[in-house]
Amino acid sequence: MKTVTGLFDDYSNARAAVSALESAGVPSRDISIVSNNADNRHSDTSNAAESAGTGAGIGAAVGGAGGLLTGLGLMAIPGVGPVIAAGWLAATAVGAVAGAVAGGATGGIIGALTSSGVSEDDAHVYAEGVRRGGSLVSANIDDTLVPEAEAILKRSNWVDPAERRASYNEHGWTRFNDTLDPYKADEVEEERSRYRSAAR
């Protein structure tokens, strides 16, 4: 088994990647999605946004197209803020919050990614990408499906982690810091606009 991971600037691309991975035969239980929800595009009564500074467990399911996406829940990750999430990364984050050290959820996500083969540098880029409004899709893939899974993520408009790290570095970023304030909705939109403009 190998972990393949993709960061997406738009949630719709991440959803498409999850659906395509499931259609290619990757079991839903082996796929995770964590997506910034600062703009409150998904809401429920769990007050995940209000708990963003301290971390919160999965809230009510918010639904989706099928498979993994039907199990999306709301939670908050220190430094990232409110997210919708499902899968093994979400479970790791919830366990870290329940275990109770400040910042544990984020450490749990970074730790889960690195222990499954993602480089620490990339794990920090992925966490920062979600903080800035992105969506992260990660899947544990049978070795025979790895090339197809990587192609699916790339076709779904994934973000090249090396290019994004370079872009962040140009603005003084070095690594994800869970003690920083989460991005607000207007900051997320500004960040997304910057990358949309660069893609043209």
Residue 148 has a pLDDT of: 94
138 touches 32 (CB < 8 A): yes
Residues of the chain with pLDDT under 50: 45-66, 96-106
The secondary structure element, H or E, covering residue 108 is helix 104-115
Residue 28 has a pLDDT of: 86
Residue 6 has a pLDDT of: 94
